[in-house]
Each structure stands twice: as C-alpha cells, then as structure tokens.
Amino acid sequence: MAGSQRSVLFLSSNARQRYTEDILVALAQPPGALVRMRYQARHVAPALRRWVADRSVVGRSCVVAFVADRQSGSPFLLPVRHALVADAECAAGVCVFRLRMGDYTDLDDYPVTEDELRAEGHRYLDQLIALNDGQFYLATGCFPSRSMANDGMHSGPARWAGAAGRLAQHPTFRDSYFIRIDEPVLDRGGPVPFDEQGRLLLSDRRAVRLKVWFRTHGSVEGDERRLSCVTDGAHLRISFEDFCDIGSPYDAVEFWLQPSPVGFDALTRVTVAHGREGEHPEISAGFPVVVRRSRSRLLTRVTLSALGAFMIGLPAIVGADSPLLVRVLFAIVGTALLSVSTIAIVRGGS
C-alpha cells in the first residue's frame, strides 16, 4: 500500500515547450547544479506553500517527474531525478523552486513499454490525488513513494539511460536527443564541486574537463545535429573545438574549459546546447562559473616583487664600500625578479 513521505514531488508536463525542456534540463545537469522549477501558486499544494513561507522546505529531498495526458484514460508519469530544495519563494501568484540535482531515479523495477508505463502512471496518479484530498497538484509534499525513494547509490550513465529510454516511449520525447553532463573534473585532479549557489568555482589557468553524453531512440539518418559548448570567450574559453557534429544515436564528447588569468574574480557561464545547426537549440543546459584569481599566484607575485625591490635597493644599503660587481649583481637579480613577477606571472597565459 502506498504511503506518503515528507519530501516533495515536482511534476513537469508537456503542456508547453518550456515545461518539456525543464525535464530535459533536469536530466542533463551535473550533480550539484541547480534547476529552477516555476509554478502558478494554484498548482502548488497548500501545505507546500506553507513550507515555502516558513522556509522549512529548504533542504528537503525531492523528486522531479514528467507527467502527460492526465485527462485521458491512460496518463503517463515517470520519475527521473532526485534533488534537494536549495531555495524557494512565492510571490505574485507564482512559486519558484531552485533544486540542487542529485542522483537519477532507480527504475530497474519500473515498466519499460509505453502501455505498461501508462498503466503504472494511471495507478500512481489515482493514489497521488487520493493522498491530496481529491486534488491534483504539480508540486506537493504528499505523494506515493513508489519508485521515488533515493537509495543513496551513485548513479552513472546506466540510470540516466534508463530514464531517457522510458521517456522516449512517450510521443513528446520519441525523437528527442537526451544529454547528460558529467561532474567537471580538473585536468590534474579530482571532480570540482559546486558551491551552495550552484556555481562552479575555478582557479584561473586550471583546465577542467567536461564530459557530455548524448543519446536518442529516434533515427539519425539524414538528421544533422550539433552539440556545442559555449562560454563568454574572455574569462573562460574552450580549448580546441567547441562543438561536435552528431552522427550516431549514442556517444560521449569531452570539452576542455580553460579559465583565463584574471586580475579579479569573474562570473561567467558554461552552456551545453543541442540542436540543428542554425536553429534554436532543442535543449540548453549549463551553470554559472566563478573564475577566481589564483591566491597562490598572487602571493608568489607579491613575494617576488618585494624581493626584487629589496635586491635593487640593496646596493644603496651596503654602501659604496662594497665591490662594484656585487652591487651590479644585486641590481640584476632584483630586476630579474621584478620582470618574472610582472611579465611571466601577470601576463603569462593571456
């Protein structure tokens, strides 16, 4: 028998193209990145609106799911991603939730074919409406726990592919391309986590690898599509090519992000987009990036500058009685240190 749980269910439909894109973006974003879900207040359960008002909703676990054909006798519903509520607010009749993406849902025991998925969706919606006193809400804190529990296992491409394959059973996504952005990884190091605001924090001149998976269940013959990675080109740029022409139904491509040397912390953004060349992207996912001035490089510059200035002034300190050759060497070394701090450290890599 289905029970309720103190987390939140967020549903997105195919009523508008924007809602459909929300599901594709939720599937695409890397763990830790934020996704924004918007609802008219009348589509949010009253209890959930109270949680928003007293801020108790922040930090709650949640599930993002796709729902369609609710008015028909065979509705479609599929949970796709676990998340945490990072922030929420209601104003002017609109509720906005910012969700921090987590693992993909475990759908190993979930139906696979369209008919089975619709039968399961019908049962689930009946239980969902019953738990909400006969009302249907797109966002609610009272929902059946069927296939919604987070098992805490790290979800890789397999679970993403499972969710994408089941979504493709619905006509809305039958010819869609699904993308998945892996957690960014330093070129010489481990993953780079996102901060509390969903921003990626990078140090200048530390390259980052961004691996992007894509797949479709439709035909790819004669369908020219492109996967691109876009930055501002100033504070953050792409090494080598910033796009990949897609010619297969399933593959992965790696983009290298190269932060530029900066004199101050800079805010930029990475956007991964997919679509036909020259047309509006079918899906566009990304996240803000803060390129921070290297503290170690700044300390090195200050140290070398101070040491160079001291070496240049040292001949005056030791006086004219010291050998001329020693005074000249002090001045040469000091000039060299100032040159290294000014040219090699400040301008290097720009």
pLDDT in tens, 7-64: 999 999 999 989 999 999 999 999 999 999 999 999 999 999 999 999 999 999 999 9
Tell me how far apart the alpha carbons of residues 169 and 195 are, in angstroms, rounded to a whole number: 36
Looking at residue 197, what is its pLDDT? 92
Average pLDDT over residues 275-294: 82
CATH number for the domain running over 183-293: 2.60.40.10
Indicate the average pLDDT of the chain.
86
Q: What is the pLDDT of residues 52-98, one digit of tens each?
A: 999 999 999 999 999 999 988 899 999 999 999 999 999 999 999 99
Residue burial 9-46, b: 16+ Cβ < 10 Å; e: rest: bbbbbbeeeebbbbbbbbbbbbbbbbbebebeeeebbe
Q: Among candidates 100, 260, 69, which has minimal Cα distance to 194?
A: 100
Q: What is the pLDDT of residues 167-223, one digit of tens each?
A: 999 999 998 899 999 999 987 778 898 999 999 998 877 889 999 999 988 777 767
pLDDT-based confidence at residue 157 (cuts at 50, 70, 90):
confident
Q: Among candidates 54, 61, 58, which has minimal Cα distance to 86?
A: 58
- Global model pTM greater than 0.85: no
Is the confidence at residue 106, as pLDDT, over 60?
Answer: yes
Tell me how far apart the alpha carbons of residues 30 and 9 are, in angstroms, rounded to a whole number: 20
Looking at residue 83, what is its pLDDT? 95
Is the confidence at residue 347, as pLDDT, over 60?
Answer: no
Looking at residue 170, what is its pLDDT? 96
Q: Which amino acid is at 184?
A: P
Average pLDDT over residues 298-313: 76
Q: What percent of the chain has pLDDT over 70?
A: 89
Looking at residue 239, what is its pLDDT? 85
Looking at residue 2, what is its pLDDT? 42
User: Are 80 and 26 in contact, with CB atoms under 8 Å apart?
Assistant: yes
Average pLDDT over residues 303-332: 79
Q: Please name the residues in contact with 187: beta carbons below 8 A apart, sequence gap of 6 or more.
A: 206, 207, 208, 209, 256
